[in-house]
């Protein structure tokens, strides 16, 4: 994988395909040389065959031309296949970091425009695999054809130079006029996609609350803006393409007229007329193709810039120093946490020390920063200030794939992923065995519930877990959090969708995890959750106001356990 200063580099990935590009350039050189067969064949037919009426000469010329055209066909196929391989190679090098960037974008504070790396990669690959690079490889051969035309007669050379200047001017104008519309269209497309995806995820809410028409109107407005901007760009592209095409055809006809004048004045042969017209077409074809492909080139360039900016904003993982899996302590010192991409602390002044087997509850008013603290403890949100250490090592010293099995996290809003119940509990890990999956399910006391589903552990949950109830998703999410006996388990309002039976199972699961040596952090809004912890963290107005043994903190708050809910 191509990297520069630890970051993935698109330029380096393209440079890695340098030899393939050289191959395309060499094939283009051979192709352009062999393309001379067409004007030369016509010259020989007009000047030799028609003058001598020689059938053998015509047959020999035809066989030679047929052989060369067969070689040209092979070269064109090889050139296209090499470009396809270049696109595939780019995809191989950039697909993994693009997928990781998509997943890491929210934590890096990326906005909607920058959170579609895979779409940007598709745009780059499509351009690199298409006719755009072929047009670029053919451009250097324009002077060769101009020189040959000049050899026929200087007026031919001057005419085609003038035509090339006009077409190049059209290409530069299209660059100037299409740059901003293409950028705005890409932004509007991303906005429309985000809105439609949001509507799909919240279809039930929209339908239940009569918001479908209003939200559909928002999507329609975004669609109309994109369509209008895309139409503007397409109109410009179509205009420049048509002008370039008609101008080239007119110039070819002009070259025929010029050739006729030269023949009349006996300054050129009849065969030169056709040869000059064909060479003119060949000389100007790369410029015309470049004009046609310019919009794709601009889109690919903008996609490459966006994708590189996305890669640069995401900090590379720590070097893979294989630290032993944590099993002793979690310590937080002077921690301040802000939302990704924001410099404003949502919770601060957090300093706690916890050891294996302990449980801590985080309580406080709504909006005080409890969930923010929970996200920071599992590494989902980076620390603005301060440190979070596991067995003395900061989280930044761990590679997330290495540390992941030691972390269990149940977010406030539980979403499962398209797949089976077993795959979700096993975190889609190839090493997740049925025994480990069932162990986690039994630890979360959800084994019997899963068996009651239509296909048991093989039940498909659908996107977001939509085929399950909120309580079922929460309990399966708890099993996922406990999979592999993680050392740090953070549960954000784990009983919000549970009935009495579910809460009892949750309590048993938390105590079981603690007995296995896990540090369990419970963000609680209900007093009955506090009986499973031995320490409390109190958060008020984004600041930790107290930390210590549960009973001692409750005594200081002068609040009975069954009254904590009002404080929390």
Q: Could you report the per-residue pLDDT of 518-535, keeping only the tens digit for each?
A: 999 999 877 778 888 999
Mean pLDDT of 96-120: 68
C-alpha distance across the termini of the chain, in Å? 48
Cα–Cα nearest to 497, from 505, 508, 486? 505
pLDDT above 60: residue 225? yes
Question: Exposed, middle or buried, 435 (CB in 10 Å: 0-12/13-18/19+)?
Answer: exposed
Q: Which of 33-37, 92-96, 139-143, 561-565 has the lowest mean pLDDT?
A: 561-565
DSSP code string of 194-233 = HHHHHHHHTHHHHHHTT-HHHHHHHHHHHHHHHHHHHHHH
pLDDT at 265: 83
pLDDT tens digit sequence for 119-167? 888 888 888 888 888 888 888 888 888 888 888 888 888 888 888 888 8
The dihedral of CA 257, 263, 267, 272: what is its sign? Answer: positive
Q: Sorting pLDDT into bands at 50, 70 and 90, what band is 205?
A: low
Provide the pairing of β-strand 407-410 with 543-549: unpaired
From CA 536, how far away is CA 531, in angstroms rounded? 11
Q: Sorting pLDDT into bands at 50, 70 and 90, what band is 494?
A: confident
Cα 253 from chain centroid (whole Å): 48
Residue 104, by phi and psi: left (phi above 0), alpha (psi -120 to 50) or beta?
alpha
If one counts every other C-beta atom within 10 angstroms of the C-beta of residue 367, the result is 11
What is the chain's mean pLDDT, rounded? 83
Q: Sorting pLDDT into bands at 50, 70 and 90, what band is 383?
A: confident
Reduce the DSSP state of residue 407 to 3 states and report it. strand
What residues contact residue 324 under an 8 Å CB cut-off, 6+ apart?
391
From CA 166, how far away is CA 330, in angstroms rounded? 70
Residue 526 and residue 497 in contact, taking contact as beta carbons nearer than 8 Å: no
If one counts every other C-beta atom within 10 angstroms of the C-beta of residue 244, the result is 22
Question: Exposed, middle or buried, 481 (CB in 10 Å: 0-12/13-18/19+)?
Answer: buried
pLDDT at 332: 93
Cα–Cα nearest to 484, from 449, 432, 552? 432
pLDDT above 50: residue 561? no
pLDDT at 2: 55
Which one-letter DSSP state was computed for residue 533? -
Q: Sorting pLDDT into bands at 50, 70 and 90, what band is 439?
A: very high
pLDDT tens digit sequence for 530-560? 888 999 999 988 899 899 998 888 888 765 4
Residue percentage of the chain with pLDDT more than 90: 20
Mean pLDDT of 197-225: 78
> Per mean pLDDT, which of 165-169, 176-180, 474-478 is the most reliable?
474-478
Cα–Cα separations (whole angstroms), residue 38 to 154, 181, 238, 374, 504: 21, 40, 30, 72, 85
Reduce the DSSP state of residue 117 to 3 states and report it. helix
pLDDT tens digit sequence for 53-80? 888 888 988 899 899 989 999 998 998 8
Residue 550 and residue 535 in contact, taking contact as beta carbons nearer than 8 Å: yes
pLDDT at 1: 53
pLDDT at 198: 78
pLDDT at 562: 46
pLDDT above 60: residue 4? no
Question: Exposed, middle or buried, 451 (CB in 10 Å: 0-12/13-18/19+)?
Answer: exposed
Residue 80 and residue 129 in contact, taking contact as beta carbons nearer than 8 Å: no
pLDDT at 421: 92
pLDDT at 204: 63
pLDDT at 490: 93
pLDDT above 90: residue 356? yes
If one counts every other C-beta atom within 10 angstroms of the C-beta of residue 31, the result is 19
Q: Sorting pLDDT into bands at 50, 70 and 90, what band is 107?
A: low
pLDDT at 466: 67
Residue percentage of the chain with pLDDT more than 70: 92
Cα 546 from chain centroid (whole Å): 43
């Amino acid at each position: 994988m191509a990297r520069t200063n630890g970051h993935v580099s698109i330029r380096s990935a393209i440079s890695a395909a340098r030899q393939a590009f050289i191959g395309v350039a060499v094939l283009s050189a051979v192709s352009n040389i062999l393309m001379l067969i067409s004007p030369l064949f016509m010259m020989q037919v007009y000047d030799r065959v028609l003058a001598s009426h020689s059938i053998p000469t015509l047959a020999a010329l035809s066989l030679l031309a047929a052989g060369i055209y067969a070689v040209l066909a092979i070269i064109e196929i090889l050139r296209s296949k090499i470009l396809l391989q270049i696109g595939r190679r780019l995809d191989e090098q950039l697909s993994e970091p693009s997928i990781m960037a998509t997943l890491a974008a929210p934590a890096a504070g990326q906005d909607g425009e920058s959170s579609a790396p895979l779409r940007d990669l598709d745009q780059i690959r499509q351009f690199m695999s298409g006719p755009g690079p072929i047009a670029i490889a053919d451009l250097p051969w324009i002077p060769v054809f101009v020189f040959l035309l000049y050899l026929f007669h200087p007026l031919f050379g001057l005419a085609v130079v003038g035509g090339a200047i006009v077409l190049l001017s059209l290409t530069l104008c299209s660059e100037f006029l299409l740059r901003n519309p293409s950028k705005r269209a890409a932004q509007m497309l991303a906005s429309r996609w985000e809105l439609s995806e949001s509507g799909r995820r919240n279809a039930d809410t929209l339908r239940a609350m009569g918001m479908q028409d209003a939200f559909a109107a928002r999507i329609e407005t975004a669609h109309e803006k994109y369509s209008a901007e895309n139409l503007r760009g397409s109109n410009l592209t179509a205009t420049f393409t048509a002008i370039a095409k008609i101008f080239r055809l007119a110039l070819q006809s002009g070259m025929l007229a010029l050739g006729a004048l030269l023949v009349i004045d006996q300054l050129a042969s009849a065969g030169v007329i056709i040869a000059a017209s064909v060479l003119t077409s060949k000389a100007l074809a790369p410029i015309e193709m470049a004009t046609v492909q310019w919009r794709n080139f601009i889109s690919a360039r903008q996609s490459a810039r966006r994708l590189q900016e996305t890669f640069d904003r995401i900090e590379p993982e720590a070097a893979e120093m294989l630290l032993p899996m944590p099993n002793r302590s979690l310590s937080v010192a002077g921690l301040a946490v802000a939302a990704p991409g924001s410099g404003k602390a949502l919770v601060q002044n957090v300093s706690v020390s916890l050891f294996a087997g302990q449980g801590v509850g985080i309580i406080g008013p709504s909006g005080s920063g409890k969930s923010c603290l929970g996200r920071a403890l599992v590494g989902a949100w980076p620390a603005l200030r301060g440190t979070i250490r596991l067995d003395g090592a900061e989280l930044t010293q761990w590679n997330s794939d290495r540390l992941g099995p030691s972390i269990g996290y149940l977010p406030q809003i539980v979403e499962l992923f398209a797949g089976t119940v077993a795959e979700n509990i096993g975190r889609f890990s190839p090493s997740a065995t049925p025994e480990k999956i069932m162990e986690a399910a039994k630890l979360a006391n959800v084994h019997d519930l899963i068996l009651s589903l239509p296909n048991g552990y093989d039940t498909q949950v659908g996107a977001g877990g939509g085929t399950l109830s909120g309580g079922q998703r929460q309990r399966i999410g708890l099993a996922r959090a406990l999979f592999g006996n993680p050392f740090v388990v953070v549960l954000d309002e784990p009983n919000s969708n549970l009935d009495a039976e579910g809460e009892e199972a949750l309590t048993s699961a938390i105590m079981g995890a603690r007995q296995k040596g896990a540090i369990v952090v419970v963000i609680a809004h209900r007093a009955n959750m506090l009986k499973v912890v031995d320490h409390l963290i109190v958060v008020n107005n984004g600041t930790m106001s107290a930390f210590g043994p549960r009973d001692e903190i409750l005594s200081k708050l002068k609040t009975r356990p069954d009254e904590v809910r009002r404080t929390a």
